[in-house]
Amino acid sequence: MIGLVDRGVGNVNAFANAFVRLGVRCKIVRESSAFVGIDKFVLPGVGSFDNYVRALRKDGFADALVEVIKKEDIPILGICVGMQALLETSEEGEEAGLGLIEGRVRRLPNSCPVRPHLGWSEVSWKSRFLDAEQKSEFYFLHSFYCDVDLQVVSGTSNLDFEFPVAIGMRNIFGVQFHPEKSHKSGSFLLNAFGNWECEQD
């Protein structure tokens, strides 16, 4: 059962619809008491970093989430700002992210042809992501990107500047684009997440 995290900042319904269409069981999770029976998390996010992280942190939700992920190796997929929240800090604000992946969220440089980065862009995959050969075009809508270690980067995009758009480390995953709004490319990726299994060490 996939838990779709809803803290009032993010379009959970689009994910619920996508998973229902794929026949993958999911439910909306608003509080840590609802973690029972959840074996994967999706963290959809829109808006500003601080706004999003504050909503996560309220009532100790973020702490409970990080604890259960670390303790039980539960896979998590962060989307857009949800991906950025997996990191430690962000240039956009003052709050601290969840710190599940080392790195800082930075503003896309001025050399980028348009900001926000809005539209369909190609993703250049460096490796298989979620154990599948992913498709190439996805929908983006963001002004900041995740500056992380090369080792955790699975896919990048290029806007006169190459930056990570898909990251993964063990059971922690993040995508900068919106799979729930990327037609078949997106549903393919979400299906891959639904089927992904953590390799036992």
Binding footprint of another protein on the chain (CB under 8 A): 11, 13-14, 17-18, 20-21, 23, 46-48, 51, 113-121, 139-143, 159, 178, 180-184, 186-187
Task: Rank residues 154 and 182 by Cβ distance to another protein and give the closer one.
Answer: 182
Q: Cβ of residue 17: shortest distance to another protein, in angstroms?
A: 6
DSSP state of 48: -
Residue 129 makes CB contacts below 8 A (sequence gap 6+) with: 154, 155, 166, 168, 173, 189, 192
Six token digits for residue 175: 């995508």
Per the annotation, the verdict on 133 as an active-site residue is no
Task: Rank residues 60 and 116 by Cβ distance to another protein and give the closer one.
Answer: 116
| Catalytic position from the list 92, 117, 142, 178 | 178
Q: Cβ of residue 107: shortest distance to another protein, in angstroms?
A: 13
| Catalytic position from the list 80, 92, 117, 142 | 80
Six token digits for residue 49: 């970093």
Q: Cβ of residue 198: shortest distance to another protein, in angstroms?
A: 27
Q: Cβ of residue 67: shortest distance to another protein, in angstroms?
A: 29
Task: Rank residues 27 and 170 by Cβ distance to another protein and give the closer one.
Answer: 27
Of the candidates 21, 26, 36, the residue with the CA atom closest to the CA atom of residue 3: 26
Per the annotation, the verdict on 80 as an active-site residue is yes
Sole residue written with tokens 């078949």: 184
DSSP per position, 120-159:
EEE-EESS-BTTB---SEEEEEESEEEEE-GGGEEEEEES
By annotation, the residues acting in catalysis are: 80, 178, 180
